[in-house]
Every structure is written in C-alpha cells, then in structure tokens.
Structure 1
C-alpha cells in the first residue's frame, strides 16, 4: 500500500480539519497533459502548493516560458539533464510527468533526494523495476496513473494480508469488440480517437493496442508487491470505475469518478490528504450503468506479453517498453500496420537474452533500452536503423 506521512498540520480550518501544509513542488514534464493539469491545481490552490521547479522536454517552448513567468520557480530548464537536476532539489513533492524511458534518471534523483515522488512516468518504474523499488523508502512513491491511484485508495479499506487480488480496468480503447481480422486496416487517425480520455499520441496508441494496460500490470506488481497471477484486467468502457481491490472475504472496493486525471494528480501532490473539489464527482441522480467485459487476449495480446516480460524481470520490461515506442513511431508514420505492433515487440523480446544481473543497474537498463530500439528498427527495416 502506498502512503506518505503528511507534515504537521498548522492552524485548524473553520470546518475543524487541519489547514493544509504548503508543499514545495517540482513538476517535471510541465508542458504535457499531466504537467499542465498539475499547474492548474497549483494555480487554484496557492495555499497548498508552491512551485519551486519546472522542466520540460522542449517541444513547446512558448508554453514553458509562460509557465516559468507565471510561477517564477527557483529552478527551470529544458531537457533530460535539467529534469535530473530539478528532481534532486529539496522539495516536498516531485511530480515526474515525463513521457518515456528518459524519466528513469529523474525518478532515481527524486528518490535519492528524499522527496515524495508523485509518479506519472510509469516507464521509469517499469524499466527500472527493482532498481527503483529498492531506492524508495516505504511510501515514498505515490502513483499518479488513475488505475494505481484507485488501487491505493481502495487499499485504505483493508490490511495488506486481506487482499486477494487487484483488478485494473481498461476502457478497451477505440477498437473495443473488434476481432484481430477487423483490426488489420485501422489507421493512425482512428487509433488516436480514444472514447473516454484525452491524452498524447503515444499513450493513446498504447491504449488502443492495450500495451498501456500491459505496462500498468507490471507497474501494479512493482508498486503493490502482488504476483502477476493476482493482478487481473477487465474491460470497462465508460472509465468511471478506475480499478478495484478484492479482499479475501469476497468484498470488492471500487474507486469511481468521471474520467479525469485531476483527482489522481491532486492525490499525488497531497497524499494522503484529499483536495476539496479537485474534480467533479459522479452525478448519482442520473442513470448509470457499469459494464465489465473479459479481455480478448487473441485480438489484444499486449497484456499477456507484458506479464511474460514482467515475470522474466531484469531488463525484459525495458525491452518491451522500448520496442513498443519504436513500433508506435512507425505506426504513426504510416510504415507499420496496427496489428503488427505487438507481434514486433514480441519478436524483439524473443531475441533478448535476459541477463542475470544482481543488482540491476541504470547502465544495464539503458543499454537494453538502446538495444531494443535498434533491434526493432532493424526488424522493421526502418530508415533510422
């Protein structure tokens, strides 16, 4: 169960609860979807958050300049090295909202600095695996993925030994219900039309292939310490139930809210405290139907492949992630059919000799990442091979 100990409360609020401790926050990946929403929270709650560090990859420099001008952080910069430096600042919370494997070193820097790590960059945990888990103090990592935030919230309802299994929900993406044959000719434009979430292109395609759900299964295993056979995935088209925890007595706790990232972001920045009115709640005065369907592993084999990569451990998850990123680039460029994304990732994994490294090192992870990208490009005959 992920949790952190909140700082000592200050003067009481009129309602009788403690006043929130104002937290110094570093936002890595500030111009992306999660980063901009985090800054919206900081803008709405200056009594709770003081932004002391901002970094971004550099794809939107104009927006970054506006953010720096507005929040006047003590540190700001563009690029991976800037993110590593910012993550090492003395801060209460570091929100890692970077996309991709480049988030690994900033994740480790934040953990080394002793800050609470609000983790939206799932790739750093997945590819770093025991390296990241071993660097974290108990409760130091607070998940920002909506599914894992939901699990963390549900786990407040019971003890660790009472948990039978975790159930992650998946919307099913834009191609839910299609057979593998019916996926043969889908286009990038179709794959980018997610039915319930507005996200960047890579994660949106990952949601369409369910690679993203495979990554989240590995993430759940690392965050909550349950074996893969006790982590299930079900398809829930409306994305109102974000995940569930089933306990040994047959009880299941669910976390439900409209599909928004504001709640998990707010919890990531303030855990274990909740931020009033972080986002609208479900309107229970309106009819609401919750549907759950089994995952079609034949049409969408990405989750099963992720389980195999996660079970192999070591550098295998890094290879899974890196090969997929190359395949998504090729698909978006119109050079790779949608149905060939996951089989190509499987081919790269099949060529990878998982090393017996104790302990896992950053260099080994990054070397595996580079090897997987090169191997995927070679398999695809890409011009960038």
Structure 2
C-alpha cells in the first residue's frame, strides 16, 4: 500500500485493456487522477473509445475508489488526514502506474522494450507530468490536455486555476458588483459558475445570463438552474462529504492546497473553484495537512510532448499550457477552440491524438494537423521545440 514502507502490506489493484487491444502496437496509458470515479472493473468504454479511436489503451483503477478503498485511513472510524494524504496521494498513484507497466511487460502486453505513451487531461495531466518526472525513461510520447502545473504556476506567481478576470473581464466586473451586494448564496453561486464554465460555450452563455439576472436582483434564472443536480451546491457538498469522496478530496487538496493556505479568505468570484473548494477542504486546511512536493524536473524527459489548451477553458489558462510545453525539451503547444472539456471540433481532436500517438510530432500528417486547427484562435502560437 505504501511504497516507502514495505511493512504496510499490499492491496490488489486492477487495470483494464481497451477493446481490440493489440500488444504489438503502440499502447497509451489513459490516466485519471481520482477527482472523477470513471474507471471500474465493469467500465463503459464508450467515452474512452471516443477519445482514442483506433489506439490501444490501458485504464487503471484508482486507489481510494471502489473497490480499492483502504480501511487503514479510518483507524478509529474517522478519516486520518495524514494517512489519507500518504496512502491516497498521487506519488503512490505514480508507483501504481509503474507497477501496471511492469506487470504488462511480464505478461508480454507491451511492445519490445516496454515503452508506453501517456494521455492525461485536466488533473490527470498533472499526474502524467508526475509520472514523466519519476519514470519518464519508459515513455515515448505524452499528450497533456487542458491541464496545469502547480510548480510552474508558483514560479510565475500565478494561481493554479485560471482567474476569471483573465478569461472574461466584463463578467468578472459584474461578479465583483454582485459580491458587494451579497445575498447569502456565495458558495452556491460560485459552484454553479464553475460547473457552467466547464461546459464550454453553452455553459458560458448560461453563466452570463445568470449573473446579469443576479445583478438586477432577479433570482429566477439562478433558482431554475439550481434544480439541475450537477449545478446544485448543496447536493454536491453532501456527496463530497461521504467517505467515497475522500480520495477525490486528497487530490483536490494536493493541487489547490498551497493556494488556499496562502489566501483562502481573499478569493472571490474571480476564482470560483477556490470559493467552494475551501469549504469542501476545510478539515485539510484547518489541520494543515502536509502537501506533497510537486516540484518537477521536466528538462530530463527526452520523449515528445504535445500540450493542448482550450481558448475558453475556465479552469486552466493557455498561458500555463505554454509554460508546460516550454519546460520540455521536445514539445509542441496547441491552442484550440473550446473550453475545459474541448467540446468543439471532435473529429479534429481525435485526428490529432491519433496522429500524435501513432506517428509523433515530426510526422507530416501530425504537423499538418497541428499547423491548421479549425478557426485558429488569434492567440495561436508556433510550436515549442
């Protein structure tokens, strides 16, 4: 369970191979980082197949999620934060990933040499960077989509998450005005704004409608959308209070804890994620749970890296995507239309992933795709080599 303590015992983990898996061809480790429980023994492959059509991939069960919840983090029936941060922590997860790779080598499920490729989006993109830092010699290529980097953000004096004022100054001004006339819905409104923003253009249109109504003291749009379970703060807070969510909260605290500790009270609607996360993570913050060292040395990785950012991503700025690409010796940055979920131009997105994983950055087909994204945003820059 604890790779730093052999006496801690072992647990039975699992991984799942994609339909039509071919051990003779390129294999992608499709990573998830524990903030969403989407990998289980009876996993539905449809979402993953849409992301990586025609490519063999591996899904790995996450420690702390069913069926691998550890009773050891509840010594007296209550969550022990220090144990949870250790046993559910991402560096343990990195070693889980490496043990899966080793097991696949033993089972001859990987090409000769045992090298893999990595795909990580959002928080899993940070996990992918952690794996590259620790075991990068086993990775040929890595695709990091709509993701961030806590260490690089600190170097630039940025917050880990994107400031709403950078994304939409007009809406940010309206939210500042609303904050001055607060009506007691601070956390619930912040949660709704964040979740809507993650949905892309349609969600952003709804978001702007709600904040205009709030400014004019019209509660109906907010009340209507609060009926949607995915936008309801009170329901989400209750679910995140269950033991099944503890591993997710550990990862949230790993990524957000440093920012929240340095100024939780000063964050307003400009960082809606921080508003509600501070409430979810209040036990971690009050007890000053230890944070892992996420300072990474990206210069040592010799494989290829493709970093994809969404122009309208409310979670991670394209600026941090560029910084990540600049930190790797052989990398390229791609700015595309769409938000955090890259909800636009699905065929183009799939073509880029397939070309990169099968042929690499230098291939003509890959370069052609990267040089001509649909409706290229003004901010599109050249590759980082």
TM above 0.5: no
* Higher strand residue share: 1
Q: TM-score range by the shorter chain?
A: 0.3 to 0.5
What's the TM-score once normalised by structure 1's chain length? 0.32
Higher RCO, 1 vs 2 (CA within 8 Å, ≥6 residues apart): 2
